Amino acid sequence: MTHASCSSCTLYLARLCYRRSFWFPLLREPLVAGMRLLGRLHGIDYSPAEGPNPDCRGCLRHLKNRLKEVSPFFVLLNGLMNPLFNSLRDSLVSKEEKLTAKDFAAGRLNTPFQELAAAPPPGAATRRGH
């Protein structure tokens, strides 16, 4: 199986957003569940480990690209939802973080996930103090 072509590491950006916003998972998870269900209905052999390195585990790029090839319904929904989703996601990440995601996808960066794992979630210090 070939690896999905990526221009930006959406998984990295999504993980940042999960740490920063309570509402982001509420928006993203139903979309992810819908993509997985539609993939099953179309018989797409989907592996969440798809990608050029171990940090790609959990990425939906392969599934999304295959759905674009086989499902006109998905193409319609993606055309409606993707611009809104990207706008909301981009409101939660910095320009530098978007560049990091692009560099990682292009192979110019080893992994952005180590720094993400090492950093405490925003507000963690204040929660401990209460």
24-39: pLDDT as tens digits: 999 999 999 999 999 9
The 3-state DSSP composition of the chain as helix, strand, coil percent (nearest 5) reads 65, 0, 35
Domain assignment present for 119: no
Domain assignment present for 122: no
* Residue 115 banded pLDDT, cuts 50, 70, 90: low
Q: Count of domains in the chain?
A: 1
* Residue 128 banded pLDDT, cuts 50, 70, 90: very low
Domain assignment present for 118: no
Q: Please determine, for residue 99, whether its predicted confidence score (pLDDT) is greater than 90.
A: yes
Q: Whole domain around residue 88: which residue ranges?
A: 10-100
Query: Which pLDDT does position 43 carry in this prediction?
Result: 92
Residues 6+ apart with CB under 8 A from 20: 92, 122
Q: What percent of the chain has pLDDT over 90?
A: 49
pTM of the model: 0.76
Query: Which pLDDT does position 130 carry in this prediction?
Result: 37
